[in-house]
Amino acid sequence: MKAEGDIYVVHRLLDEQICDSEGRRVGRVDDVELSGDPPRVTALLVGDGLYPRRLPRRLARLARRISGPERWGANALRIPWEEVDELTSTVKLRKKAEDLGLGMGDDPAHWIVRRLPWN
């Protein structure tokens, strides 16, 4: 992705809507992964398992009791930064939702599959 200049990460990246390559809405940037020195954005994090972290400390404990712990792959997903195509009024990804494990909540087939006894 070609872009230049400065970017305020909280103002323009955090909490943005994410869309896949076909324009399907697949969640919001619930958190951002940073690593390296100086730190760079290495992944976007999506999922309701990440909500407790976004709340002030006291509420966070209560929230975690309600939503349960983070389960990576289930209620917390990691989108590597390389999968981001462009940043306009949404974060647009290079691939389709299924290829990244996203959008499961809106996949009716997934609702059924999840409830099968052997899953």
Binding region for another protein (CB under 8 A): 1-11, 13-18, 24-28, 30-43, 45-46, 48, 50-51, 53-56, 59, 81, 89-90, 103, 105-108, 111
Q: Which is nearer to another protein, 11 or 117 (CB)?
A: 11
Burial class (CB in 10 A: 0-12, 13-18, 19+), 119: exposed
Q: How far is the CB of 31 from another protein (least distance, A)?
A: 5
8-19 core/surface letters (b: 16 or more CB in 10 A; e: else) = eeeeebeebebb
Q: How far is the CB of 119 from another protein (least distance, A)?
A: 19
Q: Which is nearer to another protein, 39 or 117 (CB)?
A: 39
How many of the other CB atoms lie within 10 Å of CB of 102? 25
